[in-house]
């Protein structure tokens, strides 16, 4: 093989190596930008922006959580100026027990904070769905590696209230 052919072969090898490297980097960028953590951060940021733009002074919503095999225990939470002011049963079984106290009750802001905290978990996965208009979380779904440790929280019947 003469020197020119060896030079051409070396150039071809370098071109192939560069193409492989570019393909790997492009694949890593696509994978990272569509990964659940990045996608959920983007969705959360968009939801927070919608909520910040539209947050009413007084509102209420129903929240109901369940873990494993359980009965739904919905509670209506009323919020005024960003603080819970009332919690009442919104249906469900009498076996639900006492409602959370006003101090324990969630607001939309605390639910958005929860979505942010859950997004960063190392094990399991939390999926959050957001309302397209208000930006409020409407569903949390937790999955994990154990068979009966999944849970879910629904937020529904959101109402803007007169002061």
Percent of all residues in the chain with a pLDDT value above 70, rounded to a whole number: 71
Per-residue pLDDT at 118: 74
In DSSP terms, 61 is beta-bridged to: 77
- Here the contacts of 44-47 (C-beta below 8 Å, separation 24 or greater) are 44/112, 44/115, 44/116, 44/119, 44/128, 44/130, 46/130, 46/135, 47/112, 47/115, 47/130, 47/131, 47/135, 47/136, 47/137
Indicate the range of 34-43, 48-57, 105-114 predicted with least confidence.
34-43
Query: Which has the higher per-residue pLDDT, 118 or 69?
Result: 118
Percent of all residues in the chain with a pLDDT value above 90, rounded to a whole number: 33
Query: Which has the higher per-residue pLDDT, 29 or 152?
Result: 152
The verdict on pTM exceeding 0.85 is: no
If you average pLDDT over each of 13-22, 28-37, 78-87, 128-137, which comes out highest? Answer: 78-87
Task: Name the band, by pLDDT with cuts 50, 70 and 90, for residue 38.
Answer: very low
- Chain centroid, CA 131 distance in Å: 12
Query: Which has the higher per-residue pLDDT, 12 or 38?
Result: 12
Per-residue pLDDT at 28: 63
Q: Strand pairing of 151-160 and 58-67?
A: antiparallel
């Amino acid at each position: 093989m003469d020197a020119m052919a060896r030079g051409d072969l070396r150039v071809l090898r370098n071109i192939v190596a560069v193409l492989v490297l570019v393909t790997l980097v492009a694949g890593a960028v696509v994978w990272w930008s569509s990964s659940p953590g990045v996608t959920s951060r983007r969705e959360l940021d968009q939801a927070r922006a919608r909520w910040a733009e539209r947050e009413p002074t007084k509102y209420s919503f129903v929240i109901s959580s369940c873990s494993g095999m359980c009965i739904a225990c919905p509670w209506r939470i009323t919020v005024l100026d960003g603080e819970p002011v009332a919690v009442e049963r919104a249906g469900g079984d009498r076996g639900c027990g006492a409602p959370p106290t006003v101090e324990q009750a969630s607001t939309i802001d605390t639910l958005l904070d929860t979505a942010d905290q859950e997004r960063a978990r190392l094990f399991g996965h939390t999926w959050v769905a957001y309302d397209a208009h208000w930006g409020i979380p409407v569903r949390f779904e937790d999955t994990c590696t154990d068979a009966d440790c999944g849970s879910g929280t629904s937020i529904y019947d959101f109402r803007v209230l007169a002061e």
